[in-house]
Structure 1
Amino acid sequence: MKTRMLAGVACAALMALSLPAQAATNPQLPSAASYDAPDAALIAFYASRAGAPLWLRSGADSSAARELIGVLQHAALDGMPSGSALAEQARILLARAEAGDPAALAAADRLLSTAWVQYVEALQTPPSGMTYADQWVAPRRDSAATILARAAAAPSLAAYVRSVSEVNPLYAQLRDAAWAAAQANGGQLDPRVPASLDRARDVPPEGRYVMVDTAGARLYMIEDGRIMDSMKVIVGKADPSTQTPMLASTIYYATLNPYWHVSGDMVRSLIARNVLDQGLGYIRTHGYQVLAADGSGQLLNPAKVDWRAVADGRETVQVRQLPGPGNSMGRIKIPFPNGSDIYLHDTPNKALFAQDDRTLSHGCIRLEDAERLGRWLLGRDPQAASTDPEQNVLLPRPVPIYVTYLTAHVQDGRLSFVDDIYSRDSQRQQVAALRY
């Protein structure tokens, strides 16, 4: 829920959107009625300061105010459509303040505080479709009081505004290219741009984490705002039942010499069907073990399983593949908490990474170079201590992972695009009508 701010400011923003151009440049102070319903957090904040301004401490000519107004000009790209209207209202008030109107100075300061809270709230709004599967990476949603207190505590308010508005290096780069493209195209943008900005906004500005872009089929290792390494990945097919979901979680450990625990639907559609077509030799040659469906770990004799009933869904068994050269998990599996049983893993079939279209999996994420990622996560070569299966190795510290979906990218400073393979941007076509 967005914090309710000045009702009058919202009205002023809507009015400014419909003002003719000449009216927008007329420096007239909005009526007092525009500010007759202040938010409680704003009242408390200024009361704690005995009414002292935050943005205009040294008068109307303030670097912090100029910085914020500049940010608000393109805030529609940040998910705040009213930003440019609020920037224009602030300019009107500052023009009056520079002419010596003290009421305009106070009104401008409160307007800027209101706009700042709304802006930070927009940046902290989670993207549609993202699941936070682990509490450790749940997004922070600051209260209006906290947002204002942090701004007030900043040694340099202008630098603080600049830092917060950058969000993260990936986002800032994409937004800058989007702004340049919008200016060159009369304010119009491909709808993939705002959709991708929404999702890129969710990535943290600092720290050490993994980001998987399923639209671009690429994984990034990021540390302190810099991309340290990247690699190709294979992601879920375009069919809705096999798409790799957007989710955020935490990697706590890696599994060396993993089993492949075959999913129930693949036991029916793949294992059982192949046994019926090729005989029980299929189980042996592929290194599969058949277990009881109750989770007890009891091994079953494949010859005593009614594979026709399994294929038809009338009976269920569990199947796992032993570690080895042909294991579908390869040598390393990197799980993380989530309700969709999605994980990263090695693969013996490296030839598929040469394809441009890498939407080939049932949802999990296959790694071009799992050992390289394992080395980055563990801080050492991911070598198993023995040939025993399922060796879980804790990471030195947990590493967040963000599985997102970016159809707009920046290449050589300009926007580039990939196909909307999962049709997640199509529902946002109306965004193209916004002017930036």
Structure 2
Amino acid sequence: MSATLAVPSPALAKKKAPPPPPPAPVYVPSTPIDRFYSARKDAMLWMGSREAQVALVELLRDSPIDGFTRGPQLATEIEAKIAAAQGGDAAAAKVADRAMSQALVDYVQSLYQPIAGMEYGDNWVRPRAPTGESILALAARAPVLADHVKTVWNINPIYAQLRQAALAEAKLANGGQSSLLATNLSRARFKSPSDRYVVVDIVSQRLWMYQAGQPVGSMKVVVGKNEIDKMTGKNLQTPMIASVMYYTVHNPYWHVPDHLVKNIAKGVVSFGVNAIKGRYEVVSAWANDAVVLDPNTVDWKAAAAGQIFPKLRQRPSGDNSMGKMKFPFVNSEGIFLHDTEHKEYFAKSDRSLSNGCVRLEQAARLGEWLNQGKLVAPAGGTEAAVPFPQGVPVYITYLTARPEDGKIAYAKDIYGWDRAPRQVAAAAAATTSSTQ
């Protein structure tokens, strides 16, 4: 059998066409700066306004007072980039414009860093820096960019006045009080998510209610002692806290602190459990569903010796240490604002007298402002929570320099936090007693 040689057909003999070229890569902006300029088709933001350039450089030169230590170096680099673009070099102009945008983003975001030593009890008030795109979009929409840059640091009225004073002091030959003012600026660097908020200053022992950027009311408060509780080893200083108040507790129980339980226990040892019946209750836990226990089950001698600490709460009454109402907010130390039966404390110049919580001179007045209307206590005289129309942020801070009647008032460093503000404040926040 002879083999047959296969001969390709003319169609198959033709050369195959090459595959089509791959599609060109699509450029996707990867950084906030890239996305901002891509959206505006690379239109310049800064190079058309010498006033805006000068305002930004000045802002960066001053920014160490805000804790932004890279500012002066960035200012020098930006000035060099602007100079390189003066000859009409389009590429150099693009580099300079983007460098200025990046510097603005970095500075603004630095204003939203957490305050050293402050506990953030509620996520709503936890600092969240705006995105780079939103910072630049706001700048691009400003009627006058230079004016916007000159006020971008104004995050709250306390901060604004302290900052202006600090920069003025920094121009003095010896720097004046700029260092102390910068320390206080770091404790006032907050941006409330609401136009209604409360500020408590531990040093001046006062509370302010703010609305639409202005203080609309103030009152005296009592704050924590500058002491360590010998019984528990806890710090009785009031810590710095940012949180949110959502409701009033009318006719509150008072949870007796451990160091006072010992004194009450001594009375029980001497006079029997009748000494506390009708006034105090022994409970299973600090909770709304706590179980009331039989006081006869407690070893009161051990409690009087400080060997055990039964949980005692004082029942709602006219002489309850919480007064008629309290305003809780989430924090790890059990701190809150509350009324008090000891109105005589508000006649004192030094009101660092509590075991950590903040006692109010006019609790009902604050409650009506928080409630945006009259407070009505539920009938029956038992503990009850009544919610506000909306949550109100509260900032408990520590200002040895603060705005007052258009000037800066300086005050005694009652807790010694100015000497080592970061370490001392952080330690206080970690160890403060959770008592009244």
Shorter-chain TM-score range = 0.7 to 0.9
Deviations 1:137-164 (A, max 9, x none): 2211234344334433445433433443
Point out the structure with max Rg over C-alpha. Answer: 2
Q: Which amino acid aligns with 1:291?
A: V
- Matched with 1:21 is none
Point out the more displaced range, 175-184 or 157-166. 157-166
Aligned residue for 1:232, secondary structure, equals: strand
Structure 1 residue 332 displacement after superposition: 0.9
CA separation of 1:277 and 1:406: change in aligned 2, threshold 3 A: farther
Aligned 8 A contact 1:80 1:119 in 2: yes
- Measure, in 2, the Cα distance between the counterparts of 1:278 and 1:191: 57
Residue 246 (structure 2) aligned to one of 243, 247, 252? 252
- Matched with 1:20 is none
Residue 63 (structure 1) aligned to one of 51, 56, 61? 51
CA separation of 1:409 and 1:316: change in aligned 2, threshold 3 A: closer
Structure 1 residue 394 displacement after superposition: 0.7
- Matched with 1:353 is 346
- Matched with 1:400 is 393
Deviations 1:55-112 (A, max 9, x none): 22xx3x4333233233223111111123234334434444554565545533332221
- Matched with 2:360 is 367
- Measure, in 1, the Cα distance between the counterparts of 2:193 and 2:160: 10
Aligned residue for 1:397, secondary structure, equals: strand
- Matched with 1:195 is 183
Point out the more displaced range, 377-386 or 113-122. 377-386
Aligned 8 A contact 2:194 2:392 in 1: no
- Matched with 2:43 is 52
Q: Which runs of 5+ in 1 are unaligned?
A: 1-38, 431-436
Aligned residue for 1:74, secondary structure, equals: helix
- Measure, in 1, the Cα distance between the counterparts of 2:393 and 2:71: 32
Aligned residue for 2:394, secondary structure, equals: strand
Aligned residue for 1:392, secondary structure, equals: strand
- Matched with 1:179 is 167
Aligned 8 A contact 1:132 1:138 in 2: yes
- Measure, in 2, the Cα distance between the counterparts of 1:145 and 1:159: 19
Point out the more displaced range, 124-133 or 44-53. 44-53
Report which of the two has the higher share of helix.
Answer: 1
Structure 1 residue 282 displacement after superposition: 4.3
Structure 1 residue 413 displacement after superposition: 4.1
Residue 147 (structure 1) aligned to one of 121, 132, 135? 135
Deviations 1:172-213 (A, max 9, x none): 111111111111244354543112111211142861011111
**TM-score, with structure 1 as normaliser:** 0.80
CA separation of 1:180 and 1:267: change in aligned 2, threshold 3 A: same
- Matched with 1:421 is 414
- Matched with 1:16 is none
Residue 243 (structure 1) aligned to one of 237, 243, 262? 237
Aligned 8 A contact 2:192 2:393 in 1: no
Aligned 8 A contact 1:42 1:145 in 2: yes
- Measure, in 2, the Cα distance between the counterparts of 1:220 and 1:277: 45
CA RMSD between the two structures: 2.9
1:80-159, aligned counterparts within 5 Å? 80-95=68-83, 97-98=85-86, 100=88, 102-159=90-147
Q: Which amino acid aligns with 2:414?
A: I
Q: Which amino acid aligns with 1:398?
A: G
Residue 160 (structure 1) aligned to one of 148, 172, 175? 148
- Matched with 1:30 is none
1:236-385, aligned counterparts within 5 Å? 236-239=224-227, 241-263=235-257, 265-266=258-259, 268-276=261-269, 280=273, 282-284=275-277, 287-292=279-284, 297-302=290-295, 305-385=298-378
Q: Which amino acid aligns with 1:312?
A: A
- Measure, in 2, the Cα distance between the counterparts of 1:124 and 1:294: 34
Verify: 1:215 aligned to 2:203, yes or no: yes
**TM-score, with structure 2 as normaliser:** 0.80
